[in-house]
Amino acid sequence: MVRIVPGSDATPLNVLEFEEYAREYLPKATLDYFASGSDSMETLKENREAFKRLVLHPRVLRDVSKMDTSTTLLGHRIRSPVCVAPSSTHRMAHPDGEIASTSATAKADTCFVLSTMSTTTLEDVAEASSAANPNALRWFQLYVFKDRRECLVS
């Protein structure tokens, strides 16, 4: 069970609680890396501003036994609209790195996007994803480098 506070059985329910949990377990350099954005961090700033404009209206005491959160993503049906976007160095946060991430998304029947800068090979991620769910949706983010030979698969 994930703990927010030492000795507590509480499970994180939102991003702020997961950040608190991460502060307890991850080295400062790792936290700083995951909390930052690339270059001038403009995209990170814009994303945060966009999320601030969203308002969720909770509806309590409703029958949710027949709720359906599934959606279609480029022709593929997934159970949840929450996917894992390409991000590198998952092993900084967990010893199984992208294997843990792809296994979780495959079991949740949603999409995992592997980063070009992954700490795990494409083949190992594909194998783990298929083992968890043979029909799992997985994508790859390919950076086209100036030296195109770096993008080739042998």
User: Rounded to the nearest 10 degrees, what angle do helices 15-25 and 28-35 cross at?
Assistant: 150
Domain ranges of the chain: 1-38, 73-154
Length in residues, the chain: 154
**Can you tell me the distance from the alpha carbon of 154 to that of 141, in angstroms, rounded to the nearest whole number?**
18
Residue 100 contacts by C-beta under 8 Å, 6 or more apart in sequence?
Answer: 90, 94
pTM: predicted TM-score of the whole model, two decimal places: 0.79
Task: Residue 38: name the closest of 115, 120, 130, 125 by CA.
Answer: 115
Q: Reply yes or no on whether the pLDDT at 25 is more than 50.
A: yes
Which is more confident, 8 or 152?
A: 152
- Mean per-residue pLDDT of the chain: 88
3-class DSSP state for residue 112? strand
pLDDT given at position 1: 44
State the first-to-last Cα distance of the chain, in angstroms, to the nearest integer: 42
Q: Which of 72-81, 93-102, 121-130, 140-149 has the lowest mean pLDDT?
A: 140-149
| Model pLDDT, residue 112 | 97
Does residue 101 have a pLDDT over 90?
yes
* Per-residue model confidence (pLDDT) at position 140: 94
What does the pLDDT average to over 90-113? 95
Q: What is the DSSP letter of 114?
A: E
Q: Which residues contact 143 (CB under 8 A, 6 or more apart)?
A: 116, 117, 151
